[in-house]
Amino acid sequence: MISPLAAIRELANIPAYHKQLASKGTSTHWERLTYGNHKRQYVLFAEQDDPHAPVAVWIHGGGWQFGDPEKLVAFGEYFFKRGYTVYMPSHRRIPRHDGDAIFTDVCKALAMIQKRAFSPPQILLGGMSSGGQLAALLALRQNEWRTSANLLGLITSGSPLSLRHMGASPTRRWFAGSPKKERFDTLDPYAQLKVKPDFPAVILHGTEDGLVPWKSAVAFVNQARHVGWDELNFVSLPGGSHLDAATFIRD
């Protein structure tokens, strides 16, 4: 189990982390689109000149209850500079809205992205922390949002990929309900990983993550191996913290 002191230490580092990301600045013109009537139902996006450019969808973290795309534009910049049209969705939050509502939101965002595309988009899904959990769920439940897109792959950073290995908490209960109910498994990437996926994935996680247990990622990776998912690359960061799992954008 994660100790309270480890969690406090991680949370105390988040403001400085956001400040560090903001210091990178942005050379990209970001616009905003809504996909619903709620104030959280929107995406930030930046389009490449090439209408056939691949699409990166990056979902912010915050335990499904905090955060927004604006604080993590550096992630979008990273993918935009590598030739992707980028969409960064926001979504409704717990505890007022549960995991089903949140997953419905990100599905609606993906549906909008496909409708806007000049041709069937090639989509890379990813996210930090809870955003990576939602990205993994989207990747494993494609039939609920995919109409024309092709999935290029999945990237998660410090994400709760096995809710059962997170331990009981109000946050988990608000998001997924009781683990004794069928609904819990529909929101758990680990439980959804039943057959070998047909896309590659990169899973990044620090062994000393003080917010999302390393064993959550390990359980998911072990299940991936069980179903023969040989295109999954697990990047375990020895001594790494929750925020260290996102070091790839600091290049």
Span 202-213, average pLDDT? 94
Span 195-205, average pLDDT? 97
**pLDDT tier at 9, thresholds 50, 70, 90:** confident
What is the pLDDT at residue 20? 67
Span 111-128, average pLDDT? 95
Whether residue 25 is predicted with pLDDT greater than 80 in this model: the reply is no
**pLDDT tier at 219, thresholds 50, 70, 90:** very high
Span 24-31, average pLDDT? 75
**Range ranked top by mean pLDDT from 1-5, 86-90, 116-120:** 86-90
Q: Could you report the per-residue pLDDT of 53-80, keeping only the tens digit for each? A: 999 999 999 999 999 999 889 999 999 9
Q: Considering its fold, how many domains does the chain have in total?
A: 1
Tokens 């390990």 found at: 218
Whether residue 89 is predicted with pLDDT greater than 90 in this model: the reply is yes
| Distance of alpha carbon 198 from alpha carbon 119, whole angstroms | 21
User: Looking at residue 204, what DSSP letter applies?
Assistant: E
What is the pLDDT at residue 27? 64
Tell me what the pLDDT averaged over the chain comes to: 92
What is the pLDDT at residue 23? 57
| Distance of alpha carbon 87 from alpha carbon 72, whole angstroms | 12
Whether residue 2 is predicted with pLDDT greater than 70 in this model: the reply is no
Instruction: Count the helix, strand and coil residues of the chain and give each as a percent rounded to the nearest 5.
Output: 40, 20, 40
- Residues constituting the chain: 251
Whether residue 110 is predicted with pLDDT greater than 60 in this model: the reply is yes
The token pair that represents 176 in the structure block = 């997924």
Q: 155 lies in which domain range?
A: 4-250
Whether residue 102 is predicted with pLDDT greater than 60 in this model: the reply is yes
- Of 100, 182, 180, give the one whose Cα is nearest residue 144: 100
What is the pLDDT at residue 18? 66
| Distance of alpha carbon 170 from alpha carbon 185, whole angstroms | 17
Tokens 């069928």 found at: 182
CATH number at residue 99: 3.40.50.1820
Q: Each residue of 159-175: b (16+ CB within 10 Å) or e?
A: bbbbbbbbeeeebbebb
pTM of the full structure: 0.94
Percentage of the chain beyond pLDDT 90 is 80
Residues 6+ apart with CB under 8 A from 96: none
- Of 237, 141, 130, give the one whose Cα is nearest residue 191: 141
